[in-house]
């Protein structure tokens, strides 16, 4: 009897669950998936821009990545977790859209003072992505979009703040008894995420296992996209956080405010293959415009981490 009663209860719950799904479903906006955020950093000459789109639906964004990467303005497109990143030339182009093979793309990227205008176009569902899905994403100041969906060709222009890339390398915040630099780095960065300085990426970089390492010998680089005038406040707060929570006397923090960090790759590769001196680190930092914010021995690994920002799959092995 007890088993029979339990079965009846379960059957009733199942029926109720099915009823809730089929009868009470209410989608407020069934043909829109808003991106979590869209941000753009420009180089100093406003010739190159990297557009970073934080996806809410990886499937749709992966489709867009495939098609958008064919756009004439796009130099490279890639996915880093759920962030789609497009390196583009500033300018305008004429997109020859074709169903299924080249159904959507980036039509223009224009820098106007402290703002960047990005225009997308697409066919059918690609037009929905080009318009309503991006129009109200976090980071968008304003938009101008056409009708989309069905068989239409649609276009949408969004305006976002012009941002600069700020890279923060850090190492040696832990001890053999407690801590992990990568966790502290992420928690500090996440606590400081704002419209003024968006927390974009966190990358672990495997370093050469020197004898005085804590355990795994890994440095960390944080990437932020900052609007004009917000960098100093961000860096002061990161420094304060490191000094407050670090359990090491050799903590290092270095900062590069630049679109490109490839000038540090040779130094990094040396640091990832053998022991090097702090003197070489200081010399390299000075030559590449890197600021030293906390000057413990950890600056050696902190500087080596910088050029690997957002290259998470490549940076974790020697």
Q: How confident is the model at residue 292 (pLDDT cuts 50, 70, 90)?
A: very high
Residue 215: other Cβ atoms inside 10 A: 9
pTM: 0.88
Question: What is the percent of the chain with per-residue pLDDT over 70, rounded to a whole number?
Answer: 87
Mean per-residue pLDDT of the chain: 87
Give the model's pLDDT for residue 160. 98
Give the model's pLDDT for residue 50. 98
pLDDT surpasses 60 at 299 = yes
pLDDT digits (tens, 9 = 90+) for 109-128: 999 999 999 999 889 878 88
Mean pLDDT of 226-255: 94
Q: How confident is the model at residue 16 (pLDDT cuts 50, 70, 90)?
A: very low
**36: alpha, beta or left? (left if phi > 0; alpha if psi -120 to 50):** alpha
Q: How confident is the model at residue 14 (pLDDT cuts 50, 70, 90)?
A: very low
pLDDT surpasses 60 at 209 = yes
Q: How confident is the model at residue 237 (pLDDT cuts 50, 70, 90)?
A: very high
Task: Provide the β-strand partners of residue 166.
Answer: 224
Question: Is CATH 3.40.50.300 what the domain over 172-315 is classified as, yes or no?
Answer: no
pLDDT surpasses 50 at 4 = no
* Least confident interval from 101-105, 131-135, 276-280, 306-310: 101-105
Biggest alpha carbon–alpha carbon distance for the chain: 83
Q: How confident is the model at residue 11 (pLDDT cuts 50, 70, 90)?
A: low
Give the model's pLDDT for residue 249. 84
Give the model's pLDDT for residue 177. 64
Give the model's pLDDT for residue 262. 96
Give the model's pLDDT for residue 147. 77
pLDDT surpasses 60 at 67 = yes
Q: How confident is the model at residue 74 (pLDDT cuts 50, 70, 90)?
A: very high
Question: What is the percent of the chain with per-residue pLDDT over 90, rounded to a whole number?
Answer: 64
Mean pLDDT of 151-169: 92
* Least confident interval from 200-214, 270-284, 287-301: 200-214
Q: Looking at the chain, which residues constitute the CATH 3.30.70.2200 domain(s)?
A: 172-315
3-state secondary structure the chain: CHHHHHHHHHHHHHHHHHHHHHHHCCCCCCCCCCCCEEEEEECCCCCEEEEEEECCCHHHHHHHHHHHCCCCCEEEEEEECCEEEEEEECEECCCCCECCCECEEEEEEEEECCEEEEEEEEECHHHHHHCHHHHCCECCCEEEECCCCCCCEEEEEEEEEEEEEEEEEEECCCCCCCCCHHHHHHHHHHHHCCCCEEEEEEEEEECCCCCCCCCCCEEEEEEEEEECCCHHHHHHHHHHHHHHHCCCCCCEEEEECCCCCHHHHHHHHHHCCCCCCHHHHHHHHHHCCCEEEEECCCHHHHHHHHHHCCCHHHHCCC
């Amino acid at each position: 009897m007890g088993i029979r009663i339990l079965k009846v209860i379960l059957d009733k719950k199942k029926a109720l669950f099915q009823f809730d799904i089929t009868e009470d479903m209410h989608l407020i906006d069934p043909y829109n998936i808003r991106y979590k955020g869209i941000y753009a950093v420009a180089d100093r000459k406003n010739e190159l821009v990297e557009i970073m789109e934080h996806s809410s639906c990886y499937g749709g964004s992966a489709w867009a990545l495939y098609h958008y990467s064919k756009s004439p303005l796009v130099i490279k497109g890639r996915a880093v977790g759920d962030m789609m990143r497009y390196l583009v030339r500033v300018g305008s182009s004429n997109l020859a859209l074709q169903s299924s093979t080249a159904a959507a793309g980036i039509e223009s990227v224009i820098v106007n003072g402290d703002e960047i205008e990005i225009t997308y176009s697409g066919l059918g569902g690609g037009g929905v992505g080009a318009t309503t899905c991006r129009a109200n994403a976090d980071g968008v100041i304003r938009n101008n979009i056409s009708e989309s969906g069905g068989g239409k060709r649609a276009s949408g222009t969004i305006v976002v703040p012009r941002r600069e890339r700020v890279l923060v390398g850090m190492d040696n915040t832990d001890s053999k008894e407690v801590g992990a630099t990568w966790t502290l780095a992420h928690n500090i960065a996440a606590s400081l995420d704002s419209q003024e300085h968006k927390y974009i990426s966190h990358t672990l970089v495997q370093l050469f296992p020197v004898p005085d390492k804590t355990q795994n010998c890994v440095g960390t680089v944080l990437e932020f996209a900052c609007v004009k005038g917000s960098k100093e406040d961000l860096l002061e707060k990161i420094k304060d956080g490191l000094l407050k929570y670090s359990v090491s006397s050799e903590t290092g923090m270095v900062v590069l405010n630049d679109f490109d960090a490839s000038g540090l790759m040779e130094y990094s590769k040396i640091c990832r293959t053998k022991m090097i001196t702090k003197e070489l680190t200081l010399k390299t930092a000075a030559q590449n415009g890197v600021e030293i914010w906390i000057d413990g021995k950890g600056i050696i690994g902190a500087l080596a981490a910088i050029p690997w920002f957002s290259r998470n799959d490549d940076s974790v092995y020697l």
